[in-house]
Structures are given as C-alpha cells and as structure tokens.
Structure 1
Amino acid sequence: MKKKLSTTTPLSLAFLLPVFGFSANAIEKSKQTIILVHSAFTGSWAMNTVANELRKNGFHVVLPDLPAHGNFKMSPKDVRFDNYVNVVLQELDKQKGKVILLGHSFAGTIISEVAEKRTDKVQTLVYLAGALLPNGISFLDKIKNSNSLLLNNLQIDNENGNASIKEGMINSVYAQEIPEAEFTGIEEKMVSEPIEPLSHKINVSKENFGKIPKYYIQTLRDNAIPQKLQREMYTETQVKQVFTITSGHAPNLTHPLKVVEIIKTIDSIENHKISKKKEERIKKEIIEKTDQWQKGFNLDAKNKKAKYSFRDYAPNAILQSMPVEFGTVEGKDTIAKYWQTVLDTGAADMKYLDRKIIVVDENTALLSSPWSMNKIKGQITLEKWVKKGNKWFLVEDNFEALEFLK
C-alpha cells in the first residue's frame, strides 16, 4: 500500500499558506528593530559588541555613523545638530513598524528630537548614560555645574569647529575600568567632536516626545555624566523604569551583555504582553513578597542580627547601592554581610512608601518605590524579582539614599 502524503509536509505547507493569505515568512517571529546611536567622540564601532549580541537574540539592529564620526567623513566645522538628527531619521524611515531608539551619552539629545519628529515611528526610547533633556536646554548647559570630568577636560578649538578631551585624560573620562594598555586601541578610533551640536538647545514637546515610553540605564561610576546628574535627568523627565550598571561611561564596551539583558527586558515589557488577570496576580504576589521582606528586615533590626533580610536573594544576586561609595556587592552571602553592616548602624523601621510594579513576563517583575528608615530616606530604582518553581527570588536590588535624617 502506498504511503499517504501528509498534508503537513513543508511542500504542501508552502502551497497552502498563500491560499489562506499568508506567506512562508508569516510563520516566523518578526524581529524587533533597534537603532543604536553612538556617543560623542566615537562611532558605530563602539556599539558593535552590543549589536552582535542583540542580533543573536533575534533583533534587527541598525548602526548609523553620525557625520564626522566613523566612516561618515565630514568636516566638524560644517556639522550641525540637524545633520545628526537627519541621519537617524533616514534610517528610521527605512524600517517597517515601530522602532526602539537607544542613545548613548550625548546621543540622548539626538533620539529625543528624532522622536519629536517621528512620534508614529518610535515605540520606545532608551537612554544609556544618556542626555535626557527638557525642552530648551543644551547638553553643555546641563553638565556645566555637574563636576563632570569630561567638561573639566574639554578643549575647544573654535578655528576648526571641534572639541576634544585633554590628552592623557580620555581613558579616565570615558572608560576608566579598561586598562590603559587595552584602551589605546579604542582611543585611536576616537575623534574630535563638532562644537555646534553640543550647544544645541533641544526642541521637544509633551504632545509628541512626551507620550513615548522612556527607559534610563544609569552608570554608577560615570566620570563624564555623573550619576547624580543622571538621576536629576531621569526624575526631571518622567521615565518608565531605571536600570543600573556599576560601570564608567561606556558600558557598551565594558558590560555589553548587561546592556543587552536590559534591552531584552525593555523589549519584553513593551512587546510581549500577558493577560490582565495574570498581571494582577503577579503584582499581588510581589506585594506580598515585599511585605514579608519589610517585616523580616524590621525583625532583624529589633534583634540586631541579619537573619531574614537576605533570605529572598538569589545565590548570585547583585546589590547596587548609591551613592556609589555605599558599594556594589554580589552573592547572597556577601549581601547578608552588607545588611548586617547596615543593621549595625542602628537602621530600623523600613517602609516601602509607594510601590510601582512592572510585570515583564510570567516569571519576572520589577519593583520601584520611595523608601524610608528611621535614619534615612531614599529611592528603590529597581528590585528585579524572578520566579523559580513556586518561589520568587530577588536577583537584583538597586537603591539610593537621598536624605539623612537627624
């Protein structure tokens, strides 16, 4: 007897799909497009590692060179801010559907104005240690009182229309974690920055720019745009979530996998929705879990012994506390010692004041909240909770002390 041809063979599927109005590509998951806009003084090369990792994770990545950077040859004296914006607009207009725009450092100003002009094409804005500015303010305006190592070592050449970082200081300004011997190859690719764009007063509105979801990735050891200034920017202009990397100004070079992890999380928040019922259930579970953590910490404070305050952390959890001098610690055992040190100061009466929870997926949720203790007030920028089996674990804990009480 002849074997009957299955109607699910690839050959028959190729014939059947057009009949029902589908193409063969329709069964493939569409890729999310992200445009990565590099910082001042660099070029698209500085985003290569991040781009390659994103592509491995299914993203369509666009890497433009800005005028007078990388392979885009142009005299710095001729470059205007609109030239930057137009390059990104041209790339944006080539894409189908809405796009994620990421701007590193000064490029934050560029993606903001692009979003103002193409609100219908921009899904999400991501600021990587980026200049997130309100209307009518320039990059140089914003950093002038910030004790920025970049500003303190910026050399202006009006005759040639460019600015450069003082010789011998580029490594310290841009990526101090990279040893000087290794940084030499990076420094050789860096260029002087056109002056005019740095003084451009940004033009954005609440009606356009204001309605696009924004995310901020802050860098705790940043010498170019200090973390204190970054906090000022992401509180002055509302963002949906703040992420944290303990790095200098260029985590795209020093912590590319962490940058990619954050971008994937943002993509999940914006593009992979779960049902309202599941979302509410997860939020309730996180509220209950953080209620337990709060109760446990306060019991530890009463007994002056860290017993409950570290129990919910995952074995490889990371705790990043600000100001940066407070330290970054990794691993559950080290976090236990951290909380014991805090308890030894007499800290007590921990309270979450206004919890906001973003559900990423069925097993991941992000919490942010103002908080207070008897001696201090601050802001939790992110608690990342991950569910394994039936239990929630705290895998990342980022918070800042803002006010010390008498």
Structure 2
Amino acid sequence: MPTVTTKFGSALRGALAALALSLTAALAAAPAQAAPQPTIVLVHGAFADTTSWDGVAAQLRSDGYTVLTPENPLRGPAYDAAAVQRTLDTVSGPIVLVGHSYGGFVITQIHDPDVESLVYIAAFAPVRGEVAQLALDPIRFPGSQLLPPALQVAVVDDPQGIAGKNLDGYVAPDRFHDVFAQDVSDATAADMIAHQRSIAIAANLEPSAAPSWADTPSWYLVSAGDRVIPPSSQRFMADRMGATTSEIDASHASLVSRPAEVAAVVELAVGD
C-alpha cells in the first residue's frame, strides 16, 4: 500500500526535529556537573598534636573545604599510617592528604585510591627502605639543631602497648621556641610546648615502604628558616620526588607561624 504523506505528518516531523535541536543546544549550553570537592586531611608531625593545624584548618574551612585532623600516634610509620587510614576510610570521595614533618613520612606509607594529591609541609618524603634519620644526616645536610641538649629522651608509658617503642624523644621545653618555632610569639610557643607529644625513637629508624608520591601528584613547601629538617634536605627530597615546590621564609613550624600561606599551597593541590 503506498505511503500517504499528510500535512499533519509533515508538521509533526518538523516539530519533533525542532524539539531535538532545542534539547541538543540546551545540553551543550548546560555547565558540566562539578566534580565533588576533596576532603582535606591534615596529619601532624612529631613534637606536636592536632592543634598545630588549627590556623591552617580554620583558613581552609573558611574557604569552604571539609577538613579532618586525625591523631598521629607517633609510634612508627606503618602503625601510624594505619591509624590515619582509619580516618580516610570514613571519607566518601576524593582526598587531599597533607603531612607536616614526620607526618610526611606517614602519608608516604598510605596508598589509598581516593587520595588524589599529597602535600608535604617541611616534611620527610622518603624513598623505599629509607629511614627518617637519613634526612638529618649532618654531613649531607648540615644545620639541624635537633640534637642534645635540645633533643631529650625519656621512657614513657606507651598507650599503644607496642613492645620496644616506649623510648621517646622530645624537644626540651627551654629550647623548643628557638629550635622548633623561632618565628612565633612567646605565648604561641608556650601553647605549643603544652601540646607537645613525644615520638618513639624507633619511629625514626623504621624503613619506609614503597612511596605513595611515586604515583600521586605531590606538592612540597620548603621552610627556608628550618632548624629541624635542614632546608637543603627538604629541597633534595622535593626534587627527588618531582614535587611542585615552593619556599617560605619560616621556621619548621610554618603551619603555625604562616597558616594562610600554608593553606594556599594546600589549595593549589586541591585545584590541580
């Protein structure tokens, strides 16, 4: 039977074609759905606790980010990485993982597919098999003042109950301001001393596993006035890992003395 084309059928086809073109144009003009914003996880280092991140966390939260500051047990890289991982497991979506000082050694041990970038703030960034103490080698990287009598040792009642990890190091209170945070006020230094937490000596002698920075985009903020981890050591580690590197004229405690600048580097990692 021959097909009969009617004026009604032609009009209908024309209307449908126009509708299809209109929908295509609307979809092309619509903005792409924004990717979920990463959660920023800040890991503190030795001789500090989560309060060391207060200024940075406040800045990041005021800029609209979700920020977590897990406790770092300071017992050893593998043990501490597992503790931080438990916090990461509570996060849904992408993560930017940030470590200060020994916290950098800890985040180097974490291989979580949700971590999209790493940020090191005056931090240890080891290769496989390396121990933190090598970054303080006075022959290769002179300048650290974290030596006796500034560095003290004490036997502690280890709350984690880990055999052999109850011999801890800490910074002598009368040397803390000058060695660890020379660019903060006396009042701020006193508060940091009150929050100081010692670290197991064995933690600095535990070899690193395969580094997470090897396959994760990384940033490094060097503290040019650091009296704990020599700036030359920081630059060496940052260059070795191929990190996006910047410097700040600050003490080892740049996260306390210069929180806005530290937060800005973290936000660069978020925006990559």
TM-score, with structure 1 as normaliser: 0.53
Which of the numbers 46, 56, 67 marks the counterpart of 1:50? Answer: 56
Amino acid at match of 1:257: A
Match of 2:89, SS state, is: helix
Q: Quote the residue 1:265 is aligned against.
A: 268
Q: Which runs of 5+ in 1 are unaligned?
A: 1-26, 69-78, 271-406
Distance 2:217 2:34 in 1: 27
Check the 8 A contact 1:219/1:245 in 2, yes or no: yes
Check the 8 A contact 1:143/1:151 in 2, yes or no: no
Distance 2:64 2:101 in 1: 25
Counterparts of 1:363-374 in structure 2, within 5 Å, are: none
1:113 to 2:109 alignment = yes
Distance 1:262 1:81 in 2: 24
Counterparts of 1:318-357 in structure 2, within 5 Å, are: none
Q: Which has the higher contact order (CA 8 A, sep 6+)?
A: 2
Higher-Rg member (1/2): 2
The structure with the greater share of residues assigned to strand is 1
Distance 1:184 1:92, change over 3 A: same
C-alpha deviation, 1:28, in angstroms: 8.4
Check the 8 A contact 1:219/1:246 in 2, yes or no: yes
Distance 1:262 1:80 in 2: 27
Distance 2:187 2:180 in 1: 15
Check the 8 A contact 2:176/2:189 in 1, yes or no: no
Check the 8 A contact 1:151/1:224 in 2, yes or no: no
Match of 2:174, SS state, is: coil
Distance 1:162 1:257 in 2: 32
Q: Quote the residue 1:218 is aligned against.
A: 222
Amino acid at match of 1:171: H
For residues 121-153 of structure 1, the C-alpha deviation after alignment (integer angstroms, 9 at most, x for no partner) is 210010000101111111112213233111453
Report the aligned-residue RMSD: 2.1
Q: Quote the residue 1:156 is aligned against.
A: 153
Q: Quote the residue 1:124 is aligned against.
A: 117
C-alpha deviation, 1:158, in angstroms: 5.5
Distance 1:90 1:177, change over 3 A: same
Check the 8 A contact 1:43/1:66 in 2, yes or no: yes
C-alpha deviation, 1:97, in angstroms: 2.0
1:246 to 2:249 alignment = yes
C-alpha deviation, 1:196, in angstroms: 2.0
Match of 2:59, SS state, is: helix
Check the 8 A contact 2:71/2:84 in 1, yes or no: no
Distance 1:125 1:86 in 2: 17
Amino acid at match of 2:189: F
Amino acid at match of 1:143: L
- Matched residues, percent identical? 25
TM-score, with structure 2 as normaliser: 0.77
Amino acid at match of 1:212: T
Counterparts of 1:57-96 in structure 2, within 5 Å, are: 57-67=63-73, 79-96=75-92
Distance 1:182 1:122 in 2: 32
Q: Quote the residue 1:376 is aligned against.
A: none
Distance 1:178 1:143 in 2: 23
